[in-house]
């Protein structure tokens, strides 16, 4: 059953209508690499433009591909990790869908650079647009820079209801501590 198409650079595709719960499923992906046009032009000098047949260097799946079971009613839509080296702080901004106004618990498990940290808040008030925010201090993060590209962390964020029951857990988010100020 064809369920849809995604074009570069990707996105989300809902495959719910093709799934039969409780049975083994098999997915087949057709990945094509097509150039944007039939030919390319290279400027060498005035009045000297070289035309060549267009090609695609990277073919196939060139990034991460996730199959995610997403709750239909209440769920995490996106997570943004905001770091501040100056304030020695980390913040998790959780965009949700279908969450009613009220109090929730947000927790983030962070791993990377030899560190394992857990941040949690017992009560976080949902904003009118369904956004939850969790901020915490982080005094000694490894800084991510062009000289230290390995200094990256991975965060897994979970939202719980007031009773502590898991509403949703988001896919891992990679980030680094780096800050630019003007």
The contacts of residue 171 (CB under 8 Å, 6+ apart) are 66, 68, 156
Per-residue pLDDT reduced to its tens digit, 57-108: 777 777 777 777 776 688 899 999 999 999 999 999 999 988 888 899 999 9
Per-residue pLDDT reduced to its tens digit, 126-178: 887 889 999 999 998 999 988 999 999 999 999 999 899 999 999 899 999 98
Gap between the Cα atoms of 58 and 150, Å rounded: 24
Residues 121-136, buried b or exposed e (16+ Cβ, 10 A)?
beebebeeebbbbbee
- What are residue 86's phi and psi, to 5 degrees? -65, -45
Which DSSP state fits 117? E
Look up the pTM and report it. Answer: 0.66
Which tokens go with 22? 């409780």
Output helix, strand, coil percentages for the chain, rounded to the nearest 5: 0, 45, 55
> 160 pairs with which residues across the strands?
105, 166
């Amino acid at each position: 059953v064809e369920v849809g198409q995604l074009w570069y650079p990707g996105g989300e595709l809902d495959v719910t209508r093709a799934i039969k719960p409780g049975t083994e499923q098999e997915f087949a992906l057709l990945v094509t690499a097509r150039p944007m046009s039939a030919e390319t032009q290279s400027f060498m000098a005035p009045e000297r433009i070289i035309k060549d047949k267009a090609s695609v260097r990277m073919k196939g799946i060139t990034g991460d591909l996730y199959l995610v079971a997403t709750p239909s009613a209440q769920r995490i839509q996106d997570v943004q990790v905001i770091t501040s080296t100056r304030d020695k702080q980390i913040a998790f901004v959780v965009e949700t869908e279908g969450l009613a106004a009220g109090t929730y618990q947000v927790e983030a498990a962070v791993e990377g650079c030899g560190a394992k940290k857990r941040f949690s808040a017992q009560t976080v008030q949902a904003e009118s647009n369904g956004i939850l925010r969790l901020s915490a201090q982080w005094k000694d993060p490894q800084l991510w820079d062009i000289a230290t590209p390995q200094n990256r962390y991975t965060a897994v964020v979970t939202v719980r209801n007031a009773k502590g029951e898991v509403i949703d857990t988001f896919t891992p988010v990679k980030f680094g501590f780096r800050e630019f100020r003007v």
